[in-house]
Amino acid sequence: MAYNHGVRILENPTSLTAPIIGMAALQVVVGVSPVNLAEDPYKATNVVKFAYSFKEAKEAVGYSDNLKDYTLNQSISATFKKFAVAPIALINVLDPKKHKASVQKTAFRVDALQAIVNIEGMLLDTLVVEAGETTLQEDVDYIAGFDDDGYAVITLLESGAGAEATTLNISGDKIDPSQVTSKDIIGGYDVNTGKESGLELVRQVYPLFSMTPGLITAPGYSKDPVVAAVMAAKCLKINGIFTCECIADLDSTKDGATKHTDVKTVKENSGFVSEHMSVVWPKVRSGDEVYYFSAIYSALIAYVDASNDDVPNLSASNKAIPITGLCLDDDEDSEIVIDQEQANEVNSLGVSTAVNFNGFRSWGNNSAAYPGTTDPKDRWFCCRRFFSWWGNSFILNYFQKVDDPTDTRVIQSICDAENIRGNSYVAQGKCAGARITYNEDENSISDILNGKIQFHQYLAPYTPAEDILNVLEFDPTMLEAALGGE
């Protein structure tokens, strides 16, 4: 052990802010990740990976600063770097055995026994490393790893062959995210293997982690109407009982909505009408980084909930978001400037956006069902989420009561517990009212004999104060009083 005498310091690398924990808006994100950088690249495809920190997410599915090609990177960055909220469920559909391309033999310079293979996505186990005519062996002649940029680094061992080499010839395979299609995101069930993939894996979240999905997203891919329709369908009857919501991107490519006046037509042509869906437009920029809006918006909702005692009664509209501008999908150098009047027009179509009002803020309260529905439960996205969350909570809280005797004690215990719960949220200002009743006219003797009992619960979450009007009027009597009297 070293002998120390004097004053010393030791610097640790900067850590990300510890995330706040929230479950009401548990994000389940389906997309593409640089799995070659994951802890086990071949066990990170079409499985649900749970992460409470940036480090866990990076180890589970891989992470790089390439947000354009790897959509899961966007959600990981938005969740842990932009909003510092956790946890998140990640489903990568890029298969390194399937979505790959060959890298032909290429020469790389050796400097201080190291060669940096500046080709993104290299799979280390496929590398063929040659020094002249000699094929080098891993762990005998060299070791391989990745640098902070996600590039493979070949470090020659002084005791191995090729230690004197000035160049190395490298070939192998790399993952190719461009081969992933909407079909991979949608996924399905393989009757031959019994395995599920893509959005079908949403079903596994609760059985695996005992947490109900809150928001389903597929950044970028959700602009495809077929993908969005499947997302909306997966929000209902999860495991046969649970409900959640989804965030979909409205197409902002050259074939989609390139200006606010295009939003109506593109939304209608996309068939985005589900009350369980929030539609966002266009893409957003944060410095040099570009995100699909759904990645940022989903993380924002999770953050708002987690900061509100994990109760989803607050709207995510008019909240500060860490972006510096808006842009189009296939022209990330473009700049979309939307003022409040134009943003309101977008909102009137059931689409949320962002406005710069002394800093960028999210803007929009309506679900995709608006203006087709005006039912406050389904029109206001925060109210829709409150109902889904309350229903899921009821199931989780009273599942233990299932198969108890159908007597007055079980009925009274549920009524008492729910009314106490409702009163507590009313006292906290989380809702205007919440009460439950057991009505005999809704519970026939035949139903009771068949083991069925029914409750009736009334919920009144606060609707967002979307339109605040102050009427200004000139009062001449005030002027007269000020000038004419003592």
Q: Given this model, what pLDDT does residue 332 score? A: 82
Residue 128 pLDDT class (50, 70, 90 cuts): very high
* Whole-number Å distance between alpha carbons of 301 and 181: 27
| pLDDT for 14 beyond 90 | no
Task: For residues 253-272, give the mean pLDDT.
Answer: 97
Residue 9 pLDDT class (50, 70, 90 cuts): low
Report the percent of the chain where pLDDT is more than 90.
Answer: 90
| pLDDT for 17 beyond 60 | no
Q: Given this model, what pLDDT does residue 53 score? A: 95
Quote the DSSP letter at residue 466: -
Q: Is the pTM of this model over 0.95?
A: no
What does the radius of gyration of the chain's CA atoms come to, in whole angstroms? 28
Report the percent of the chain where pLDDT is more than 70.
Answer: 96
* Whole-number Å distance between alpha carbons of 327 and 254: 12
Task: For residues 63-88, give the mean pLDDT.
Answer: 96
Over the stretch 354-370, which tens digit does the pLDDT of each residue have? 999 999 999 999 999 99
Task: For residues 473-483, give the mean pLDDT.
Answer: 92
Task: For residues 121-144, give the mean pLDDT.
Answer: 94
Q: Given this model, what pLDDT does residue 85 score? A: 95
Over the stretch 219-236, which tens digit does the pLDDT of each residue have? 999 999 999 999 999 999
Over the stretch 321-363, which tens digit does the pLDDT of each residue have? 999 999 999 888 899 999 999 999 999 999 999 999 999 999 9
* Whole-number Å distance between alpha carbons of 367 and 345: 14
Q: For 247, what's the count of Cα atoms within 13 Å in the CB-facing half-sphere?
A: 34
Q: For 455, what's the count of Cα atoms within 13 Å in the CB-facing half-sphere?
A: 22
| pLDDT for 1 beyond 70 | no
Ramachandran angles phi, psi of 87, nearest 5°: -95, -175
Average pLDDT, the chain: 94
